[in-house]
A = this chain, B = another copy of it.
Amino acid sequence: MSEPIKMIDEMFDFDEGLTEKQKRILAAAIESFAEKGYAATSTSEIAKKAGVAEGTIFRHYKSKKELLLTIVAPMMAKLVAPFVIKDLNKVLNQEYENFEEFLKAMIENRAKFLKNNMPLFQILMQEIPFQPELKEQFKEHIGAKVIERFRTVVEHYQGKGQIIELPPFSIIRFTVSAIFGLLATRYLLAPDADWDDEEEIQRTVQLLMHGISVGR
Protein backbone atom coordinates (compact mmCIF):
# COMPACT_ATOMS: atom_id res chain seq x y z
CA MET A 1 0.00 0.00 0.00
CA SER A 2 2.89 2.38 0.64
CA GLU A 3 3.74 2.38 -3.05
CA PRO A 4 0.46 3.74 -4.35
CA ILE A 5 0.51 6.33 -1.60
CA LYS A 6 3.86 7.60 -2.79
CA MET A 7 2.40 7.81 -6.27
CA ILE A 8 -0.55 9.70 -4.85
CA ASP A 9 1.81 12.28 -3.49
CA GLU A 10 3.42 12.73 -6.87
CA MET A 11 0.17 12.93 -8.69
CA PHE A 12 -1.68 15.10 -6.25
CA ASP A 13 1.31 17.02 -4.93
CA PHE A 14 -0.38 20.33 -5.52
CA ASP A 15 -3.17 19.28 -3.16
CA GLU A 16 -1.10 19.52 -0.04
CA GLY A 17 -4.19 19.50 2.13
CA LEU A 18 -4.71 15.78 1.83
CA THR A 19 -5.38 13.91 5.06
CA GLU A 20 -3.71 10.61 5.61
CA LYS A 21 -7.14 9.00 5.26
CA GLN A 22 -7.86 10.85 2.07
CA LYS A 23 -4.70 9.47 0.57
CA ARG A 24 -5.64 5.99 1.64
CA ILE A 25 -9.04 6.45 0.02
CA LEU A 26 -7.49 7.63 -3.22
CA ALA A 27 -5.00 4.78 -3.25
CA ALA A 28 -7.68 2.21 -2.58
CA ALA A 29 -10.00 3.66 -5.19
CA ILE A 30 -7.26 3.71 -7.83
CA GLU A 31 -6.35 0.14 -7.13
CA SER A 32 -9.92 -1.11 -7.29
CA PHE A 33 -11.05 0.99 -10.23
CA ALA A 34 -8.10 -0.21 -12.27
CA GLU A 35 -8.67 -3.79 -11.34
CA LYS A 36 -12.43 -4.16 -11.65
CA GLY A 37 -13.58 -1.01 -13.34
CA TYR A 38 -15.37 1.99 -11.90
CA ALA A 39 -18.91 0.66 -12.16
CA ALA A 40 -18.06 -2.71 -10.70
CA THR A 41 -16.27 -1.27 -7.68
CA SER A 42 -18.39 -0.53 -4.64
CA THR A 43 -17.68 2.28 -2.23
CA SER A 44 -17.88 -0.14 0.66
CA GLU A 45 -15.09 -2.10 -0.94
CA ILE A 46 -12.98 1.03 -1.24
CA ALA A 47 -13.68 1.95 2.35
CA LYS A 48 -12.68 -1.47 3.57
CA LYS A 49 -9.49 -1.47 1.54
CA ALA A 50 -8.63 2.02 2.74
CA GLY A 51 -9.43 1.15 6.33
CA VAL A 52 -11.91 3.96 6.81
CA ALA A 53 -15.62 4.18 7.43
CA GLU A 54 -17.75 4.38 4.36
CA GLY A 55 -19.09 7.73 5.42
CA THR A 56 -15.58 9.13 5.36
CA ILE A 57 -15.43 8.74 1.62
CA PHE A 58 -18.49 10.87 1.19
CA ARG A 59 -17.24 13.50 3.59
CA HIS A 60 -14.43 14.18 1.15
CA TYR A 61 -16.11 13.41 -2.17
CA LYS A 62 -19.72 14.28 -2.67
CA SER A 63 -20.31 11.18 -4.76
CA LYS A 64 -18.59 8.16 -6.18
CA LYS A 65 -18.43 9.94 -9.53
CA GLU A 66 -16.65 12.90 -8.01
CA LEU A 67 -14.12 10.51 -6.54
CA LEU A 68 -13.48 9.13 -10.01
CA LEU A 69 -13.05 12.55 -11.53
CA THR A 70 -10.76 13.67 -8.75
CA ILE A 71 -8.57 10.70 -9.54
CA VAL A 72 -8.59 10.89 -13.27
CA ALA A 73 -8.62 14.57 -14.13
CA PRO A 74 -5.06 15.41 -13.04
CA MET A 75 -3.86 12.28 -14.81
CA MET A 76 -5.10 13.66 -18.08
CA ALA A 77 -3.28 16.92 -17.53
CA LYS A 78 0.00 15.24 -16.65
CA LEU A 79 -0.31 12.85 -19.53
CA VAL A 80 -0.13 15.66 -22.03
CA ALA A 81 2.03 18.00 -19.98
CA PRO A 82 5.11 17.65 -22.23
CA PHE A 83 3.14 19.23 -25.00
CA VAL A 84 2.52 22.49 -23.29
CA ILE A 85 4.39 25.44 -24.62
CA LYS A 86 7.36 25.45 -22.30
CA ASP A 87 8.49 21.90 -22.86
CA LEU A 88 7.70 22.12 -26.48
CA ASN A 89 10.05 25.02 -27.01
CA LYS A 90 12.98 22.79 -26.29
CA VAL A 91 12.15 21.04 -29.51
CA LEU A 92 11.72 24.06 -31.61
CA ASN A 93 14.83 25.65 -30.16
CA GLN A 94 16.86 22.91 -31.74
CA GLU A 95 17.29 21.05 -28.51
CA TYR A 96 16.78 17.98 -30.69
CA GLU A 97 18.80 17.93 -33.84
CA ASN A 98 16.34 15.79 -35.74
CA PHE A 99 12.91 14.27 -35.47
CA GLU A 100 14.33 10.88 -34.67
CA GLU A 101 15.98 12.13 -31.51
CA PHE A 102 12.89 14.00 -30.56
CA LEU A 103 10.81 10.86 -30.98
CA LYS A 104 13.13 8.76 -28.93
CA ALA A 105 13.25 11.26 -26.10
CA MET A 106 9.51 11.62 -26.08
CA ILE A 107 8.81 7.92 -26.05
CA GLU A 108 11.26 7.34 -23.25
CA ASN A 109 9.79 10.14 -21.25
CA ARG A 110 6.20 9.02 -21.64
CA ALA A 111 7.13 5.39 -21.08
CA LYS A 112 8.63 6.26 -17.74
CA PHE A 113 5.58 8.28 -16.86
CA LEU A 114 3.16 5.50 -17.75
CA LYS A 115 5.23 2.95 -15.93
CA ASN A 116 4.77 4.97 -12.76
CA ASN A 117 1.10 5.57 -13.33
CA MET A 118 -0.27 2.50 -15.01
CA PRO A 119 -3.38 2.08 -12.86
CA LEU A 120 -4.37 5.68 -13.40
CA PHE A 121 -3.83 5.35 -17.10
CA GLN A 122 -5.92 2.21 -17.24
CA ILE A 123 -8.78 3.90 -15.42
CA LEU A 124 -8.58 6.82 -17.76
CA MET A 125 -8.70 4.61 -20.84
CA GLN A 126 -11.57 2.56 -19.49
CA GLU A 127 -13.75 5.41 -18.36
CA ILE A 128 -13.33 7.98 -21.09
CA PRO A 129 -15.94 6.34 -23.30
CA PHE A 130 -18.54 6.37 -20.54
CA GLN A 131 -18.01 9.64 -18.70
CA PRO A 132 -19.07 12.63 -20.74
CA GLU A 133 -17.05 14.95 -18.50
CA LEU A 134 -13.93 13.01 -19.30
CA LYS A 135 -14.71 12.80 -22.97
CA GLU A 136 -15.10 16.55 -22.96
CA GLN A 137 -11.83 17.16 -21.18
CA PHE A 138 -10.09 14.69 -23.41
CA LYS A 139 -11.26 16.35 -26.57
CA GLU A 140 -10.27 19.72 -25.26
CA HIS A 141 -6.81 18.66 -24.08
CA ILE A 142 -5.81 16.09 -26.64
CA GLY A 143 -7.85 17.09 -29.62
CA ALA A 144 -7.32 20.76 -29.37
CA LYS A 145 -3.96 21.29 -27.73
CA VAL A 146 -1.79 18.24 -28.23
CA ILE A 147 -2.59 17.69 -31.86
CA GLU A 148 -2.07 21.35 -32.51
CA ARG A 149 1.35 21.32 -30.88
CA PHE A 150 2.31 18.10 -32.49
CA ARG A 151 1.43 19.52 -35.85
CA THR A 152 3.78 22.41 -35.21
CA VAL A 153 6.57 19.96 -34.57
CA VAL A 154 5.81 17.92 -37.65
CA GLU A 155 5.67 20.98 -39.84
CA HIS A 156 8.88 22.20 -38.29
CA TYR A 157 10.71 19.06 -39.35
CA GLN A 158 8.91 18.91 -42.67
CA GLY A 159 10.29 22.38 -43.26
CA LYS A 160 13.74 21.05 -42.56
CA GLY A 161 13.21 18.34 -45.12
CA GLN A 162 13.44 15.54 -42.56
CA ILE A 163 9.87 14.33 -42.73
CA ILE A 164 7.88 13.20 -45.72
CA GLU A 165 5.35 15.60 -47.17
CA LEU A 166 2.11 13.94 -46.18
CA PRO A 167 -0.75 15.62 -44.33
CA PRO A 168 0.54 16.23 -40.78
CA PHE A 169 -2.57 14.69 -39.31
CA SER A 170 -1.83 11.37 -41.01
CA ILE A 171 1.73 11.46 -39.80
CA ILE A 172 0.63 12.27 -36.28
CA ARG A 173 -1.90 9.48 -36.25
CA PHE A 174 0.65 7.02 -37.52
CA THR A 175 3.32 8.07 -35.05
CA VAL A 176 1.00 8.17 -32.05
CA SER A 177 -0.40 4.77 -32.99
CA ALA A 178 3.05 3.26 -33.01
CA ILE A 179 3.93 4.79 -29.66
CA PHE A 180 0.62 3.93 -28.10
CA GLY A 181 0.83 0.41 -29.46
CA LEU A 182 4.27 -0.03 -28.04
CA LEU A 183 3.33 1.21 -24.60
CA ALA A 184 0.03 -0.65 -24.48
CA THR A 185 1.72 -3.90 -25.41
CA ARG A 186 4.54 -3.31 -22.99
CA TYR A 187 2.49 -2.32 -19.97
CA LEU A 188 -1.01 -3.62 -20.52
CA LEU A 189 -1.02 -6.63 -22.79
CA ALA A 190 2.20 -8.34 -21.88
CA PRO A 191 3.69 -6.67 -18.82
CA ASP A 192 5.28 -9.94 -17.72
CA ALA A 193 7.08 -10.73 -20.94
CA ASP A 194 10.81 -10.36 -21.25
CA TRP A 195 11.45 -6.89 -22.59
CA ASP A 196 14.54 -5.02 -23.48
CA ASP A 197 12.96 -1.62 -23.25
CA GLU A 198 15.86 0.37 -24.73
CA GLU A 199 16.08 -1.96 -27.66
CA GLU A 200 12.34 -2.06 -28.32
CA ILE A 201 12.06 1.69 -28.29
CA GLN A 202 15.03 1.88 -30.63
CA ARG A 203 13.35 -0.54 -33.03
CA THR A 204 10.07 1.31 -32.92
CA VAL A 205 11.78 4.55 -33.81
CA GLN A 206 13.60 2.86 -36.61
CA LEU A 207 10.36 1.39 -38.00
CA LEU A 208 8.63 4.71 -37.67
CA MET A 209 11.38 6.39 -39.61
CA HIS A 210 11.99 3.85 -42.31
CA GLY A 211 9.08 1.48 -42.38
CA ILE A 212 9.12 -2.26 -42.63
CA SER A 213 10.12 -2.74 -46.20
CA VAL A 214 13.65 -3.52 -47.07
CA GLY A 215 15.16 -0.14 -47.69
CA ARG A 216 17.50 0.63 -50.50
Contact = CB atoms under 8 A, between A and B. Distances in A.
A213 interface: yes
A215 interface: yes
Contacts of A37: 37, 39, 129-130
Given A37-B130, A181-B176, A171 B207 contact: yes
A132 to B, nearest CB: 11
Interface string A194-211: 000000100110111111
Interface stretch (A68-76, A108-116, A156-164): A156-164
Contacts of A163: 212-214
Interface string A106-135: 000000000000000010001001100000
| Interface of A (DSSP majority class) | helix
Most buried by B among A36, A130, A177, A214: A177
Given A209-B212, A210-B210, A203 B39 contact: no
Contacts of A39: 37, 39-40
A170 B202 CA distance: 11
Interface of A: 36-37, 39-40, 99-100, 122, 126, 129-130, 161-164, 166-167, 170-171, 173-178, 180-182, 185, 200, 203-204, 206-216
